Structure formats: structure tokens, C-alpha cells
Amino acid sequence: MKFLHSARIVICVLLFLPSLNSTTFAEDQLPSKEDALRAKVVDYMRAASSVQWTPKEDIPYYNPEQNFSFKKGETYYGIPYTQFSRNNNLEAFSTQLETIDGVQYYVGPCEYDKYWGSDCSASLSNAWKQVDPDFPSLLTRRMIPDRPKEIVPVGKYALNFYDSTPNIVKENGFDVMKSAYALLKPADAVIMHVDYDGHAMLVIRNEPENARLFISDQTGLNKGVPKGRDGRSTFRFDQEYTYEQLFEYGYIPVALRKIDDAAHEIELFDGKDLDGWDINVQGEGSPENQDVFTVQDGVLRISGEKMGGIMTKESYGNYRLTVEFKWGDKTWGGKKERARDSGVLIHSFGPQDAVGGVWAKSVEANILEGGVGDFWIVGGKDDGISGTCDVVLRNGIYVFDPKNGKPVTFTDNADGRFQWSGASENWQDITGFHGPCDVAFADDWNKIEIYAVDDEMQVYVNGKFVNRVYGLKQTSGKIQLQSEGAEIFFRRVSLRPWDEPLD
């Protein structure tokens, strides 16, 4: 079995002003996927804090009690702070700028409750959206990690007080929090929230050897003057904080899950070839020239014309597997005009052609029209494979029901399948079947996430939890993708080590 370990390493990120040309790298100097994502986030924050604008008329600050205005004809930097139109990103704010006689004027609304701007959590959300476009615009209190949200903690601190980060850091103690702060990388963040107050700051760089880091944030005023650029910006960039200050103020370290994943994720399919896989076609083994499995333009096409599979050369355990697939148009042979079918086979072991001359013994997370997320045992009752699911019996088929289901154990492919929770009662084995509750798209890309941890598996389809099997005898093994009578495309097959217990 391949052991999966990863460590966080502090890196330096190249920061680019938006007016500069893109940096080019020699082939052996290309940044990693993680580094590229982090640089993109930091670049956005620098650009948001650097954009230059001049009001065409006075703009009263969003909070009249501060008795401050952005003055007509004076130059300011960075998107202005407000809590009214708080979600304006750099692209949106730039639509309100107009260059006249070489001066970039702000020509948008100027009322204190209507001028375009952002606040601390919105600016951080907008920065993270550069690499995760689906990331929601969260308030600071929503940025406290709680799986399976989009944000994860950095370090090994306990989240015992979700609504009060000062209580969290106090409960864990300085030594624990200091170790966590030391793991922060550019594009991670530190979050503080208590009662109805809070603040979010993006990490620009970290110096663990000096127990300090440097941040960028969208902030407000200090004694009636903007905090950044000598009173000319409500953004700060490269502002220093010591770890002691972060602890004293009650900040917790967090990361965007998508970036954190990139630091640890293993691309099983690299979009180029199938070098990490073994190929088997029923009756043919692995012929040199066959078109069942081909790679083109970064996508794996499985024709489905012949029964077969590809299987990883390595074995894995305790992970989250992410697979993105889309159906093709063709069905073949005995499967012609039947529901398009394929599958992801987990914890595979033994000969690749052990079952029917096609697949290795395993547990299948099905990819089937109307049945994406069904579970099957691939093997016989004497093959040492079993799995238990909490189910209800409906029309002679066991359907996963996490609330009302009773445990049933399967040990043989002949036992049938554990259908996913939203399976249609009127499922038909016909091409194009789509049930009323199906969460898989018929004609678009779909994402399946399979959490395989210890003796349990959970399946999510397009973000929705659809099935769970536990009590597995096999807890590690190789991974297979099936060719089973239908054309199917895969653009992503990636594995992320997972050491968290499943809920």
C-alpha cells in the first residue's frame, strides 16, 4: 500500500501588479499547481489594494459617525471600505472608473450608503473566488471552519467555541496556536470573530523563524483617517503581525479548501496519458493497439464498445477520490439503448481480470443513469468482500435511508445493489433515463467525491450526500474505471489523503 503523507512548507510567492506582463518560467521552473493558485489569490489582493481612483465629488464614509469623506479631486488607492455595497470585487469596481485627462475618476454612486466598495470578509471572499469561482461571499463569522464547508483549519487546534475565536485560541493555548500560525502560507487567512464583531486578513507571507507574518486586509479608519497608504487607502498590504498579537486578538488560522487540496492532491489521471494505469479488455488483456481507452485534449474517453477497465498501479487507503465525468452518446452490444453504465471500483485487489475476466475484486460506486452512487459488491461470497448499508426495502431493492434505514450486509454481486438515497421508484434500464430527484446531470460534467476512510465509504454527487457503506473488509486497494457498454469521458481523477473521521 502506498503511504500518503504531506507537510506544509512555507513558500515565497511572486507578486505581480496588474499592469505588468505575465511572468514566464523555464520548463523546469514552472510553479506547482498549489503555488500558482496561491499567487493568483495574492495577486488579486494586491491589485484590489492598489487600484487608483479619484472622486468627482465628495463621498461621505459609510459610517456618518466617523465624520470622514473621500475628498473630491484627491487620489485614493484600493477599493473603498463599506458595509452597504460590500460585495463589489475589483472587476465590478473598475466599471465605475473613467479616465479623463489622465486621471482615473470614480464616477459611480457617491451617497454614503450607495458608493461601491467592499469590507474585510468580502475582499477575502473575492480573492478566494479567483481560484474557486463557486466560493460564496461569506461574513466573517461564517469563515470559522466546520466540515464540509469550503474552509479548513490550518494546524491542529480544537474548534470548541465556534462563535468566539478568542475563546478558541484561549482554550488551545499559545503553544498550540503558535504551531498553527507557523504553518500558514500565502493566500491562507486569519479570522477573528466575537459577538457581532470580527475581522478577516489574508496572509501575504510568513516568517516562522521570527514568529511573525504579513497580511493584507480591507479595513476602515483610525482616528478618522484611512489606515493604509499614509491615509490614502482603506486597504493595508504587507502589514506585520507577531504571533503573540494574533493570539492576543483571538485570530485563528484557516485556508481555502481548494488550495489546501492542491497542496496534497494526487492526480491519478494527468490529462496526458495512462502511464499510471494498467489496461484490461475482456478476452484481450492489454493489447497494444485498441481504442477503448484513449486520451485527447486532456480528457480520457472510454468508448464502452468492449467490456474492460483501467486500474491504478498503486494501492491507496484513507482518501477522498474526486472524479469528474460526462456521458457520451454511444451505447453498444447488449447495452445498446439501455441506461448508460460505468463505475468507479474501490479497494481493488488480486488479478485485474478476476471477476468475469474483466475486473478485479472490489467495491463499486456505480456510475449509472438514474443510479450514480449505487453500491455493488464486485466478487462472490467467498472472495472476502462485504459491506453494510442502512437501507429500506422498496420494490424489492434496498435503498439507502440514513434516518430510517436498517443495516443490511451484502457479500456477493448476486445480492444486488444498495441504491442511492434519491433513486427513482420507477427506474428504467433505458438510455437517457433521468429520475425526478436525480442530482447527476444528463448532458454536462458531474463530480463524484468518494470518501474512503478505514472501513467506511461515503459518496457525494455534485455536492449532495447520496450513499454510505461501512463494515468493509477491504480498507485499501487499487482504483478501477469501467468500460461497460456506454461511452463516457473523464476529465479529472484525483486523490486527496484524508485523515479526518467521517461524520
Asked if 354 and 409 sit in the same domain, the reply is yes
Is residue 2 domain-resident?
no
Asked if 291 and 194 sit in the same domain, the reply is no
Q: What pLDDT does residue 288 have?
A: 57
Asked if 443 and 352 sit in the same domain, the reply is yes
C-beta of residue 112 within 8 angstroms of C-beta of residue 60: yes
C-beta of residue 295 within 8 angstroms of C-beta of residue 194: no
* Higher-scoring residue by pLDDT: 289, 345: 345
Residue 359, amino acid: W
Domain boundary among 234, 264, 294: 264
CA distance 351 to 373: 25
Tell me which residue of 354, 346, 338, 502 sits closest to 433, measured CA to CA. Answer: 338
**Does the pLDDT of residue 499 top 70, yes or no?**
yes
Asked if 223 and 271 sit in the same domain, the reply is no
Half-sphere CA count of 469, side-chain side, radius 13 A? 31
**Does the pLDDT of residue 369 top 70, yes or no?**
yes
Residue 175, C-beta contacts closer than 8 angstroms, at least 6 positions apart: none
Asked if 42 and 111 sit in the same domain, the reply is yes
Is residue 8 domain-resident?
no
Domain boundary among 216, 245, 264: 264
Please give the backbone phi and psi of residue 421, each rounded to the nearest 5 degrees, phi first: -60, -30
Tell me which residue of 146, 158, 208 sits closest to 182, measured CA to CA. Answer: 208
pLDDT tens track for 459-494: 999 999 999 999 999 999 999 999 999 999 999 999
Q: In the structure, what pLDDT confidence band is assigned to residue 287 with cuts at 50, 70 and 90?
A: low
Please give the backbone phi and psi of residue 480, each rounded to the nearest 5 degrees, phi first: -120, 150
**Does the pLDDT of residue 18 top 90, yes or no?**
no
Question: Grid coordinates in use for 63?
Answer: 459610517
Asked if 34 and 126 sit in the same domain, the reply is yes
C-beta of residue 16 within 8 angstroms of C-beta of residue 23: yes
Is residue 9 domain-resident?
no
- Predicted TM-score (pTM) of this structure: 0.76
Burial class (CB in 10 A: 0-12, 13-18, 19+), 188: buried
Q: In the structure, what pLDDT confidence band is assigned to residue 33 with cuts at 50, 70 and 90?
A: confident
Domain boundary among 264, 296, 322: 264
Mean pLDDT of the chain: 91
Please give the backbone phi and psi of residue 87, each rounded to the nearest 5 degrees, phi first: -95, 15
**Does the pLDDT of residue 148 top 90, yes or no?**
no
**Does the pLDDT of residue 14 top 60, yes or no?**
no
**Does the pLDDT of residue 289 top 90, yes or no?**
no
Q: What pLDDT does residue 196 have?
A: 82
CA distance 376 to 346: 11
189: enclosing H helix or E strand:
strand 189-194
Is residue 17 domain-resident?
no
Owning domain of residue 103:
27-264
State how many domains the chain has. 2
pLDDT tens track for 63-119: 999 999 999 999 999 999 999 999 999 999 999 999 999 999 999 999 999 999 999
Residue given cell 449505487 in the structure block: 374
- What average pLDDT does this structure show over 270-276? 95
pLDDT tens track for 216-247: 999 999 999 999 999 999 999 999 999 999 99
- What average pLDDT does this structure show over 128-155? 88
CA distance 96 to 98: 7
Q: What pLDDT does residue 160 have?
A: 85
Asked if 351 and 255 sit in the same domain, the reply is no
Q: In the structure, what pLDDT confidence band is assigned to residue 30 with cuts at 50, 70 and 90?
A: low
